[in-house]
Amino acid sequence: MTDTRRLFFALPLPENLRQEVIQWRAAQFSAETGRPVAAENLHLTLAFLGEVSANKEQALRAAAARLQQSPFTLTLDDCGHWPRPGVVWLGLRSPPRGLLQLAQWLRAQAARNGCYQSPMPYHPHISLLRQAFTGVSLPAATPGWQTEVNAFNLYHSAFENGRTRYMLLESWPLAA
Ligand code: 3AM
């Protein structure tokens, strides 16, 4: 049996923005709404890869290093609820073209390397609360935080001592 690990490509949130988001979340959602995602785990997934062998991981890292993509700005001005997975999320009313291109390219590379990709349309989001199945009341407005994206990351998702930890494996810069 080969060793595999659970991987995904994602955008991190800068520390100051994470703090603003968790303060806003605490003010907007009661403790019963769902389980808050830990501040250090807040991220925007670009491509979920699933369980990946070391060989495949190497191929995916090499592909990521070949990517040519300019930086872009995210405007986080949307918030929503998906009742079935029980997720409350922060998103973008108008995702920039650069974000969609980056995700599409990484998802295509993932598929080429045998990582199953969901046929559902890509909906960029940052999960804020999990296990939020019922009784979710969404805020009337979302602050519209803006953040510049200059790099994308590969993470290992590990379940340890009853909690999920995302470990940064590698980061690639976006350059004009
Ligand atoms: O970005 P979010 O938090 O929505 O839900 C998992 C998390 O998404 C998602 O990958 C991100 C990092 O763990 N994920 C987990 N299993 C998945 C699957 N089978 C999945 N996404 C798609 N298919």
DSSP string, 56-111: HHHHHHHHHHH-----EEEEE-EEEEETTTTEEEEE-SS--HHHHHHHHHHHHHHH
Cβ atoms of 86 and 132 closer than 8 Å: yes
Mean pLDDT rounded to a whole number for the chain? 97
For domain 4-173, give the CATH superfamily.
Cyclic phosphodiesterase (3.90.1140.10)
DSSP label of 28: H
pLDDT at 2 over 70: no
> Tell me, what's the pLDDT at 176?
79
Residue 99 Cα to chain centre, angstroms: 12
Q: Is there a catalytic annotation at residue 123?
A: no
pLDDT band for position 150 (cuts 50, 70, 90): very high
Which residue type, as a one-letter code, is found at position 22? I
Determine which residue's CA is closest to atom 17 belonging to ligand 1. Answer: 48
**Nearest atom (ligand 1) to Cα of 127:** 3
pTM across the whole model = 0.96
* Interface predicted TM-score of the whole assembly (ipTM), two decimals: 0.88
Summarised one tens digit per residue, pLDDT across range 40-77 is: 999 999 999 999 999 999 999 999 999 999 999 999 99
Cβ atoms of 50 and 153 closer than 8 Å: no
Instruction: Enumerate the domain spans of the chain.
Output: 4-173
Pocket test for ligand 1, best of 8, 90, 169 (most atoms within 8 A of CB): 8
Using alpha carbons, select from 173, 160, 136, 163 the residue that is nearest to residue 28: 136
Summarised one tens digit per residue, pLDDT across range 74-112 is: 999 999 999 999 999 999 999 999 999 999 999 999 999
Distance from residue 8's CA to the centre of ligand 1 (Å) = 8
Residue 152, token pair as written in the block:
């994308």
Determine which residue's CA is closest to atom 22 belonging to ligand 1. Answer: 48
Q: Phi then psi for 4, rounded to 5 degrees?
A: -130, 160
94 lines ligand 1 (CB under 6 A): no
Determine which residue's CA is closest to atom 6 belonging to ligand 1. Answer: 48
pLDDT at 1 over 90: no
* Residue 74: burial class (beta carbons within 10 Å; 0-12, 13-18, 19+): buried
> Tell me, what's the pLDDT at 55?
97
